[in-house]
Each structure stands twice: as C-alpha cells, then as structure tokens.
Amino acid sequence: MTDWSDVLRALWLFLPAYVANMSPVLMAKAIPGWNAPIDGGRLHKDGRRVLGAGKTWRGLVGGAVLGGVTAVVLAYAAPPQGQPGLFAGYDFGFHGHTYQGPLHDGHQVPGSCPQDAFCDTLTWHAQPSAGWAVFLFGAIVGAMALVGDAVKSYFKRRRGKEGGAPWVPFDQLDFVVFGLAAMLLASPLLAHDWVFWALGNWMILATLLVLTPVLHLAVNGLGFLLGLKKVPW
Ligand code: CTP
Ligand code: MG
C-alpha cells in the first residue's frame, strides 16, 4: 500500500544531508576569507583544476557540523516510536527502538538475539542511540554528501565543464547517493537495525532518488533569487 506520508518522512530522514548540501553556500557568506580549496590549487594532467576553486575545506567542515546539528535537532523533535505523530520513531533511535521478526535474510532469525537488544521471540528492543552518536551519524552523512559533491566535480572537470556550469542530473544526485551510502556505513552508531528499519521502505528510497533532484533545483533557484547563489542551479 502506498502511504504518501512516507514522502514527508523521507525528507525528514534525509534533512541532515539536505542541510549539509546547502551549507557551503552559507559558509561562503559567513567566512569568505577561509577559502582553501580541497585540491590545494593543483592541476590534473589535462591542465584543468583537479576539483576546482569552488570545493573548499570550509564547505566540507560546515557540512559535517551542520549535518550533525540537524540530526540531533530531529532526534529531539521526533516523537518516540509507537506514539502518535507523522515522524514518530524517525528520531535516529534516540528514544529507543523496537523491531519485529527477521528483517533481512541471513541477519536475524527468531530466537537469536543481537548483543545490543533485549529480546523475546519476535520483538526486539534495541538500546537507544546516544546523543553523541546521533551527532556523529549526522556529521558523517553531511560530510559524505559533500564528498559526493566533490567526486562529481572531479568528473565534471574531466569533462571540461567549469564550476557553476550545469550538469543535470549529477549536480542534483551526487549527494543523495553518497548520503545514502553514509547512512548504511554509519548504521552501527545508532540503535540496532534502526537505519535498515528507516530505509527498508521503497517509498522512502524512491522519494529520495526522484524528489531530491526536483527539490534541489527549487532550493537553488530560491538561493539565486535571494542572492546567495551565482547561478540558479
Ligand atoms: N562550496 C564550498 N565548498 C564545497 C562546496 C561548495 O565552498 N565543498 C561553495 C563554493 O563557494 C561554490 C558554492 O558553494 O561556488 C556552490 O557550490 P557548487 O554548486 O557545489 O559548486 P560549483 O562552484 O558549481 O562547482 P561544480 O561545478 O564543481 O559543482
Ligand atoms: Mg554547481
């Protein structure tokens, strides 16, 4: 059954990556003087910059910090799992997390209890995620979102496209793919199986991959109108 509220839950879940992806532009306004490029100004053998002047350490650090802060804010704001509310349980496991049955093949069978959970035969209660772990999780997702952005810039430069030139859909999807990969990689930081519980829903994944490029273009258009971005993409 299609539950359209999952669209909103997907956006909530990925907010640390969205905020991280927007943060370099804000950081550039806040600290214009700290503009050391990640590639150190080096040129690739094709004569172009490896990444370009637009990929700075400032952007990467800003993305990590704001990604972490966003995750912590969401963890406090979401009601605990099982309580009423659109975002109940979407708290990165901060209020504890209950899950049922074997969720994925080869991982759990009824009767076998993971180390970090209290179990009866079908229902497992995972230990809640620690606040610092939620921050670190958001910071890793935020940093990886911008690593994806920089990896894209590497290939964009190799194709001869300058910074600021549009490259649809890679400009829009780079941070989604890396952000999702980061959530899987960093999942051991959070309550047992929470990430798989949150991502194990095709509506959530479809929303992130389909709606994100659309939203990305809309937000950048707004940033352009507000004078934050030089180009409307
Ligand atoms: N930015 C930054 N550090 C990053 C990423 C972005 O400082 N790691 C800032 C830069 O001022 C950049 C602006 O955010 O110009 C917009 O980011 P983006 O669109 O990703 O960069 P572009 O300059 O368009 O470069 P590219 O073509 O490689 O995407
Ligand atoms: Mg760009």
Instruction: Report which ligand 1 atom has the smallest distance to the Cα of 163.
Output: 27
In the prediction, which pLDDT does 17 show? Answer: 96
Q: Is the CB of 59 under 6 A from ligand 1?
A: yes
Q: Which of 140, 110, 146, 134 is nearest to 194 (CA)?
A: 134
pLDDT band with cut points at 50, 70 and 90 for residue 108: low
Confidence (pTM): 0.92
Measured by CA distance, the residue closest to atom 27 of ligand 1 is 163
pLDDT digits (tens, 9 = 90+) for 167-222: 988 998 999 999 999 999 999 999 999 999 999 888 999 999 998 888 888 888 89
Determine if ligand 1 sits within 6 Å of the CB of residue 142.
no
H or E stretch covering 118 = strand 117-119
Q: Which residues contact 32 (CB under 8 A, 6 or more apart)?
A: none
